[in-house]
Amino acid sequence: MNLPPLVQSFVLHFGEMGSRWGINRTVGQIYALLYVSPEPLNADQIVDSLGISRSNVSMSLRELQAWNLVLLKHLPDDRRDFFTTPDDVWQILRTLAEERKKREVDPTLSVLREILMQQPASDAERHAQERMAEMHGLIERLTTWYDDVKKLETDRLATLLTLGAKVTRLLEAKDKIVSLGRSKRNPDRA
Amino acid sequence: MNLPPLVQSFVLHFGEMGSRWGINRTVGQIYALLYVSPEPLNADQIVDSLGISRSNVSMSLRELQAWNLVLLKHLPDDRRDFFTTPDDVWQILRTLAEERKKREVDPTLSVLREILMQQPASDAERHAQERMAEMHGLIERLTTWYDDVKKLETDRLATLLTLGAKVTRLLEAKDKIVSLGRSKRNPDRA
DNA sequence: TTGTAATTTCAGTAACTACTGAAATAACTG
DNA sequence: CAGTTATTTCAGTAGTTACTGAAATTACAA
């Protein structure tokens, strides 16, 4: 490996974390390298920087493309492929969330739905279905929220984050205002 | 494996997903089994239900305990350990979030902090640090939000989720009210 | 065409992770 | 204390995933 020290620390860390994130070491390292590189890199540059085989780079880039985590660029009069990551970290976050949902959540949701369609044949199955229904309900709530929130533009999303739990206080205020408004127009319903 | 069909589907699915979630097949299966069981199970019952070795069950339960995902119960006049999952799926979600953050996010945050402390020795390092600072900023925002939201009681959290992106509309309303209030008391600052 | 550079595929192997059975340890009982 | 049951540890092995080098394919150029 042949990189400036600070970059190397970052790249090695991403490699180590790779396994915890469900990608492998090489994929993690390549991603980290592309992320901090000022210019797009081609496969041979990655080979030189990380000291791994050309074929490994090829397969790992393919993996990163499957995750939509890298962008393919071309320079004039050069037919090699050059790779980068998006500049905007929020965009990266969105992609990551989307892909992880697709791989880690959606399959479970559909298995749960399938099982819940079936007729339980015993008390054990009946109880199991109840538990699965709870899990299904929670996951659906979370994904509905996610589908909703992911549509927000970045600055709105940022505001939402900054606000955090303070929103609930706002909600109480809103409740009061709304019920006040209602009680004036419609005194019968609380 | 010796389980009612619906339970078996669920257990097998969790086993398959295990690898995507950063746990292994057996751990996933045991968790799924405990989750849908009406009563706590002891190790031998797990062995019988899943058809795996006693030692594998022991190691996997240990893993689940490290994740705080299972509860240990004892029956009167029985010195075997019995295991369950919490009844409340929201509690499970909280634990999961907490543990994943600890394993998947916190280490990166601290590596980023360390690297950002150092003096860049070249343009390449300067640029890399800028990129890392962006990543660090985003992760900090997200974890601050998370720390904030995790304190909410479940029903508040549920409200927040149900509201989703609609909150921003509420925010606009709030902005108007606030700026209106301000402009009355303090006409100079917009 | 033929040649050349870029990239991918893939069989084989290295490295790693999961799992088992046997042995050791721990926790209790009479 | 010796005996019994519950649980853990761990060396060895099975199973899986990651990686390489060589060969094949693709894309273009002369």
- Tens of pLDDT, residue by residue over A58-89, are 999 999 999 999 999 999 889 899 999 999 99
The answer to whether the CB atoms of A149 and B171 lie below 8 A apart is no
Query: Which of A50, A69, A84 is the endpoint of a domain?
Result: A84
**A133, A182: one domain:** no
**A80, A135: one domain:** no
**A130, A59: one domain:** no
**A163, A144: one domain:** no
What is the domain range of residue B119? 88-151
Domain of A59, CATH number, reads: 1.10.10.10
**B124, B159: one domain:** no
Chain B: closest CA distance from residue A77 (Å): 26
pLDDT band for position A189 (50/70/90)?
very low
Query: Is B187 a residue whose pLDDT tops 90?
Result: no
CB A40 within 8 A of CB A84: yes
Optimal mutation site among A36, A126, A180, interface B, most CBs of chain B within 10 A? A36
Q: Is A97 on the interface with B (CB under 8 A)?
A: no
Instruction: Determine the pLDDT at residue A190.
Output: 39
**B53, B105: one domain:** no
**B93, B48: one domain:** no
**A142, A109: one domain:** yes
**A102, A132: one domain:** yes
Query: Which of B61, B84, B107 is the endpoint of a domain?
Result: B84
Q: Which two tokens stand for residue B115?
A: 């690297």
Question: Tens digits of per-residue pLDDT, B148-181?
Answer: 999 999 998 998 898 877 877 777 776 676 666 6
**A20, A62: one domain:** yes
**A61, A121: one domain:** no
**A145, A159: one domain:** no
Query: Which of A84, A118, A142 is the endpoint of a domain?
Result: A84
Alpha-helix residue ranges (DSSP H) falling in B72-187: 89-100, 106-117, 123-149, 154-163, 166-185
Give how many domains chain A has, as a whole number: 3
Return positions of chain D under 7 A from a protein CB: 5-10, 17-22, 27-28
Instruction: Determine the pLDDT at residue B19.
Output: 85
CB A70 within 8 A of CB A61: yes
Q: How far apart are CA B132 and CA A85, in angstroms?
A: 13
